[in-house]
């Protein structure tokens, strides 16, 4: 966590909470000692027009009562830089609570519905429309549900529009028909979103299901009734009224509030919890145990066997979620150019790597069509994603690594990149123009959650805070918030100005990833600012790997060399003998003490890094399968996977 800069105005900054396109947010104490959230605006946004717009936003937001929202407490728009002070509201979002613990109980659903209806009443009464009400914008605080993020709010008076921009505004799964078709917004669209939000809280479902493309979802929103199966009939009837296709037929927020507070709490037990990743071994045991070394075709998905929902206390201590009522999403992350110098800026040592001391046979070999473009282990180590340039991505069951079994095929074009979230619940895959997000609650039957339109994304990584980073061939890195994976939000981008992206990886404790381009590897702080000089190239970088402990970076270069860098002090590099290159891929083991690299002879070499001055090749992996294209190691330290140009994927025992 980045150390905050002391004080701003009368507020003492304690720690950095996060950053977005508009500014950096800090946990702080006011002069009375109470916790608040302070948002310090990016200097790049400064200017008379920005400050004038911000003043209008503050004026409108201050009119909303704070009981069910996050209040604006203070603002100094003349400060350098300007800043806002809001309530700091701890607690999980509704999206996170449902994702981690399943649907809420009937009583919890009613409580959230009442509070959100009250918040909408207050918002509409001052002349605002929220326009992006969704589970990710509702905090389940210790005092009840609170509505946050007026980042796309709009004044009902068209002359006082707060946020403008091209295209649709809002989050599609919770949009009203008129909003999805681009018609003029009215307060009725927030009422429609309330119905979808309550469905999600009560069942864990989205109101119109999950669609593989935007057109199907928009058609469902416009034509189909919402799915309220399993919801108590009186509440279901109110949801249907709120989600009437004709906005004139919906109740107002005030009428909705009066109706929902009179509903009785249902006596029925809550719906069964969806399978989580922790349930995966039990779920897989229900499948037909027919080991299949080939990836084509995949095994049939097993039947679902839901288990009872574990009890959850909504007010349990969690990491605080910032509730800044004016968190405007602007597509801007500070970037910086990288020096294009031919000579390295770092000193280099070149130890001699000792000869190979061990060879070993593989545990299993799989085959797919085309060249393998990616192999990625899920954090558990029991699941492997395989992607090639001609076949659909496949998920492989590796609980028994000697008998890997095709588990599921993802219904997408061939993937160029893939990444799992740290909790392994969500998988992101990228093809030529789209990123797909998948629900892996049941890995044998992955469910499509949403798609993101993107261009030529070849590298993906997911941070611990739920940020998805994607790098493209034009040298641009994009960022999306996928904490609500059904409704991902683009939150920023930056241009490296240093060639195509060849690697992205998050370092533990840092919210901004390391980004490697063909010309340099760039280390940035949590705000995206370069920390000192970028790691200079010795030759064109083709790939990179970051150790799990966040201390080492390996850059693989076109001149057959591989350099090891100390991330904390990136001024000295250790060069691995060029006889081992050119590596198109490399991967560290979970203990960060060994590195697997591709060698010129089409073998993979496992290097012992315990003594950087005398690197030692401890194992050679030779599958006689041709040129290596990808390497990954399982997070449990049991196996590693090497992939090849001819479509082979080989599973090996990890070094002892």
Alpha helices in 557-656 (DSSP H): none
Dihedral sign, Cα of residue 181, residue 185, residue 187, residue 193: positive
Q: Cα(53)–Cα(598) distance, rounded to whole angstroms?
A: 54
Q: Which whole-number Å values give the CA distances from 84 to 22, 29, 420, 528, in the listed order? A: 11, 13, 35, 21
DSSP string, 292-306: B-B-SSPPPPPPP--
Is 39 annotated in a binding site? The answer is: yes
Please report which helix (H) or strand (E) contains residue 429, including its range: strand 426-430
Q: CA–CA separation, 429 vs 413, rounded Å?
A: 10
Rounded to the nearest 10 degrees, the angle between the axes of helix 106-125 and helix 233-242 is: 30
Q: How far is residue 369 from each of residues 329, 403, 404, 475, measured CA to CA in Å?
A: 42, 20, 17, 29
- The pair of structure tokens assigned to 436 is 């797909």
Angle between helices 94-101 and 188-203 (to 10 degrees): 20
The upper half-sphere exposure of residue 105, i.e. CA atoms within 13 Å in the direction of its Cβ, equals 10
Residue 428: which residues within 8 A CB-CB, separation 6 or more?
418, 419, 420, 421, 435, 436, 437, 438, 460, 462, 468, 482
3-class DSSP state of 41: strand
Q: What angle do CA 151, 33, 465 make, to 5 degrees?
A: 40
392: how many CB neighbours lie within 10 A of its CB? 20
465 is catalytic: no
Q: Is 159 helix (H, G, I), strand (E, B) or coil?
A: helix
Write the burial class of residue 121 (CB in 10 Å: 0-12 exposed, 13-18 middle, 19+ buried).
buried
Separation between Cα atoms, residue 407 and residue 417, nearest integer Å: 19
DSSP label of 632: E
- List all residues 6 or more positions away from 444 whose beta carbon is below 8 Å from its beta carbon: 283, 284, 287, 299, 301, 302, 395, 397, 407, 408
Contact yes or no for 360/56 (Cβ under 8 A): no
Q: Which of 87, 132, 279, 539 is catalytic?
A: 132
Cα 218 to Cα 174: distance, rounded to the nearest angstrom: 10
User: Residue positions in the annotated binding site for ATP?
Assistant: 39
Residue numbers annotated as active site = 132
Residue stretches of the annotated binding site:
39
């Amino acid at each position: 966590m980045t150390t905050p800069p002391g004080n701003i105005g009368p507020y003492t900054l304690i720690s950095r909470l996060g950053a977005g396109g508009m500014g950096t947010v800090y946990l702080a104490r006011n002069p009375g000692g109470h916790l608040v959230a302070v948002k310090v605006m990016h200097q790049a946004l400064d200017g008379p027009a920005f400050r004038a717009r911000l003043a209008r936003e503050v004026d409108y937001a201050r009119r909303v009562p704070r009981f069910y929202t996050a209040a604006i407490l203070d603002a100094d728009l003349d400060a350098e830089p300007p800043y806002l002070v809001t309530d700091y509201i701890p607690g999980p979002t509704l999206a996170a609570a449902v994702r981690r613990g399943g649907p809420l109980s009937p009583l919890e659903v009613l409580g959230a519905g009442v509070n959100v209806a009250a918040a909408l009443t207050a918002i509409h009464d001052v002349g605002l429309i929220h326009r992006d009400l969704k589970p990710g914008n509702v905090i389940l605080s210790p005092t009840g549900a609170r509505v946050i993020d007026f980042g796309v709010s709009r004044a009902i008076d068209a002359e006082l529009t707060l946020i403008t921009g091209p295209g649709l505004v809002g989050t599609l799964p919770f949009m009203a028909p008129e909003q999805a078709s681009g018609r003029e917004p009215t307060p009725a669209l927030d009422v429609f979103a309330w119905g979808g939000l309550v469905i999600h809280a009560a069942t864990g479902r989205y109101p119109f299901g999950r669609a593989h493309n935007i057109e199907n979802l928009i058609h469902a929103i416009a034509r189909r009734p919402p799915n309220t199966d399993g919801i108590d009939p009186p509440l279901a009837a109110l949801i249907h009224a709120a989600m009437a296709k004709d906005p004139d037929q919906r109740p107002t927020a005030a009428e909705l509030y009066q109706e929902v507070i009179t509903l009785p709490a249902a006596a029925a037990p809550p719906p069964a919890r969806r399978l989580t990743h922790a349930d995966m071994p039990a779920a897989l045991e229900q499948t037909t145990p027919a080991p299949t070394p080939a990836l084509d075709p995949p095994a049939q998905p097993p039947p679902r066997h839901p288990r009872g929902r574990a009890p959850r206390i909504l007010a349990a201590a969690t990491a605080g979620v910032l509730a800044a009522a004016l968190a405007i999403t602007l597509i801007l992350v500070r970037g910086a150019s990288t020096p294009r110098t031919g000579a390295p800026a770092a000193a280099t040592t070149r130890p001699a790597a000792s000869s190979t001391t061990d060879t070993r046979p593989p545990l299993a070999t799989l085959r797919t069509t085309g060249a393998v473009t990616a192999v990625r282990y899920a954090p558990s180590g029991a699941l492997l994603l395989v992607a090639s340039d001609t076949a659909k991505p496949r998920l492989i069951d590796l609980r028994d690594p000697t008998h890997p079994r095709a588990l599921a095929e993802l219904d997408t074009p061939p993937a160029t990149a893939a990444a799992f979230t740290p909790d392994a619940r969500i998988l992101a895959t990228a093809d030529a123009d789209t990123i797909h997000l998948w629900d892996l609650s049941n890995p044998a039957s992955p469910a499509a959650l949403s798609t993101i339109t993107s261009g030529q994304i070849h590298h993906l990584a997911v941070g611990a805070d739920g940020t998805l980073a994607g790098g493209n061939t034009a040298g641009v890195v994009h960022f999306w918030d996928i904490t609500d994976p059904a409704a991902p939000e683009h939150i920023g981008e930056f241009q490296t100005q240093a060639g195509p992206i060849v690697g992205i990886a998050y370092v533990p404790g840092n919210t901004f990833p390391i980004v490697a381009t063909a010309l340099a590897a760039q280390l940035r702080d949590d705000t995206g600012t370069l920390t000192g000089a970028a790691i200079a190239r010795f030759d064109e970088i083709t790939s990179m790997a970051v150790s799990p402990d966040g201390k080492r970076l390996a850059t693989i270069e076109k001149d057959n060399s591989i350099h090891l860098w100390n991330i904390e002090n990136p001024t000295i590099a250790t060069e691995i003998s060029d006889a081992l290159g050119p590596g198109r891929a490399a991967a560290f083991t979970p203990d960060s003490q060994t590195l697997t690299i591709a060698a010129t002879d089409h073998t993979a070499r496992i290097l012992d890094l315990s003594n950087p001055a005398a690197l030692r090749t401890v194992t050679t992996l030779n599958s006689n399968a041709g040129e290596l294209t990808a390497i990954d190691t399982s997070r449990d330290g049991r196996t590693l996977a090497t992939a090849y140009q001819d479509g082979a994927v080989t599973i090996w025992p990890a070094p002892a």
